[in-house]
Amino acid sequence: MTVEGPILRIFEVQTKPGCAETLLKNFATTSADVVRGEPGNRGYFFGRHVGGEGDTVIFVSIWESMGVIQERFGEGWQASFIPDGYEDLMASCSVRHFDMTGGWHVEGLAAPV
């Protein structure tokens, strides 16, 4: 399977009780700094799960290709990149990658289909 892109890199965290707000604040600064301005990065967003599991948060970065993700994160690109200080806030985490070549739409922006 050929992976072209764009690619969503989704970092999902189950926070320790009461730590979601702190981690979201870290996403706005530290996590943003990890991806902002990197070659091939097209943006990021983050948020909290709505519903029964309010302690689950995500940080999603958008990349032009899998190759630029591999360049940015090196051999460990399939693993979660954990900035200093995050481990104290997290119960568990994962990272997943989604090929969005099939199409996506953001107000006024559409991927080629």
Q: How far is CA 30 from the centre of its chain?
A: 12
Q: What is the mean pLDDT of residues 80-103?
A: 89
Cβ neighbors of 104 (< 8 A, separation 6 or more) are 6, 110, 111
SS3 67: helix
Phi then psi for 88, rounded to 5 degrees?
A: -65, -20
14 within domain boundaries:
yes
How would residue 4 be classed by pLDDT, with cut points 50, 70 and 90? Answer: confident
Q: Find the domain containing 22 and state its range.
A: 7-103
pLDDT of residue 63: 93
pLDDT tens for 6-51 read 999 999 999 999 999 999 999 999 899 989 999 999 999 999 998 7
pLDDT tens for 43-68 read 999 999 987 656 999 999 999 999 99
pLDDT of residue 105: 63
Please give the structure tokens belonging to residue 25.
Answer: 């604040």
| Residues, the chain | 113
110 within domain boundaries:
no
112 within domain boundaries:
no
CATH number of the domain where residue 72 is located = 3.30.70.100
**In the chain, how many domains are there?**
1
77 within domain boundaries:
yes
113 within domain boundaries:
no
Phi then psi for 40, rounded to 5 degrees?
A: 85, -10
pLDDT of residue 102: 74
